[in-house]
Amino acid sequence: MSSLFSWLTKAQALLSPSITPCLTCGKRNPGSSPLPGVCRICVEAIPWISSPRCLKCGRHVGCPDCTRSSEPSPIICNRSAVAYTSVMREWLGQYKYRGNERYGLLLGLMLDRAYIALKEEKRSALLSQKTLIIHSSWSADLLVPVPVSDSRLRERGFNQAERLADVLSKRRKIPQLPLLIRTHHTGKQSFKSRAERIADMKHAFAENPAVTAQFADWMKRKVPLNRPVRIIIVDDIYTTGSTIRACADIVQQMGSDYGYRVEVYSLTWARS
């Protein structure tokens, strides 16, 4: 039976040469999927976070971190496309550490889905407050990728957060500006405790002096006067949120330096 099945699969592949192997499982599964290069079966197995349990950090499971913390947060909320399962870790590893560039578009499109969900969530919230004029909708004004250190950039050849933001920027016509730089390399975060990570992150980022003038000019020309500027920080993973919060603090500061009210959000590909 199994040999008949494998023969049928081979025959089918020969008869339909247009079916290319799936990027993630390598099999030639028939049928179309909404994500280019990935088969229907793999797409069906993606652990999407469709309705987060924690509305603050977008976590799919109960969240003690947000309920415990009494500190005011510099972000409105985080939303992630997927839960960071072992399969998702493998996908990210293929991209980030093994340099399989074909994953770039895939992960970017997955992040785009999270953006659309956030947009819809914000639109319904505005509608329920009756503050939204009919036919208008919620959208972000600017994307800011989380920077990587120079040494990491040399080693990896690209900044994964910037690539993810590129996909979103092109699809949704939202400008992207590298407002931040990484001042020091923080080492492998996964080996550190929560307290260590937070202390580490506090001084890991700074304003990027190369784009300050461009940012000021953009705000002057593009920012609507009747509402705060909506800035989304983009990264691949949200773990404790200390990276995002450190970045958001600086972005908030930059906005207020120029006299603007800024709402900072974050979009991350996975929530661990």
Q: Taking CB under 5 A as the rule, does residue 168 contact Zn ion? A: no
Give the CB-side neighbour count of residue 129, counting CA atoms within 13 A. 7
Beta carbons of 150 and 184 less than 8 angstroms apart: no
Q: Based on CB atoms, which residue is closest to Zn ion, 87 or 132?
A: 87
d(CA 161, CA 116): 18
When binding is defined by CB under 5 A, the residue of 25, 153, 177, 198 that contacts Zn ion is 25
DSSP 154-191: HHHSS-HHHHHHHHHHHHHT--B---EEE-S----GGG
Residue 196 corresponds to which tokens in the numbers above? 């260590």
When binding is defined by CB under 5 A, the residue of 35, 49, 54, 201 that contacts Zn ion is 54
Q: Taking CB under 5 A as the rule, does residue 264 contact Zn ion? A: no
CA of residue 35 relative to chain centroid, distance: 17
Q: Taking CB under 5 A as the rule, does residue 88 contact Zn ion? A: no
Q: Based on CB atoms, which residue is closest to Zn ion, 27 or 227?
A: 27
- Give the dihedral sign, CA 233/236/237/243: negative
Q: Taking CB under 5 A as the rule, does residue 66 contact Zn ion? A: yes
Q: Taking CB under 5 A as the rule, does residue 63 contact Zn ion? A: yes
Q: Based on CB atoms, which residue is closest to Zn ion, 66 or 132?
A: 66
d(CA 196, CA 218): 36
* Residue 56: CB minimum distance to Zn ion, A: 5
Which positions from 26 to 45 touch Zn ion by CB under 5 A, shown as an x/- string?
-------------x--x---
Sites of contact with Zn ion (CB under 5 A): 22, 25, 39, 42, 54, 56-57, 59, 63, 66
